[in-house]
Amino acid sequence: MLSISVFSASLIWTYSSTLSMFFTIRAKGLLGLFFLFLNLFTIVSESGLQAI
């Protein structure tokens, strides 16, 4: 039950961060790339937590 709530929370976080990343790339390219790597790192760490 806890893993489901954590998964849904990470999904919402990924969706919102992807939206903000998209608009940030349009506004400032370098900062957008930083958010892109941050978003990828979040996805990788979340999938790593799901494996555990």
pLDDT band at 24 (very low <50, low <70, confident <90, very high): low
Q: Are 39 and 14 in contact (CB under 8 A)?
A: yes
Residue ranges per structural domain of the chain: 12-51
7-19 confidence digits (pLDDT tens) = 888 888 888 888 8
Which pLDDT value is given to residue 23? 76
3-state secondary structure of 52: coil
For the record, the structure tokens of 20 come out as 């903000």
Distance between CA atoms of residues 21 and 48, nearest Å: 22
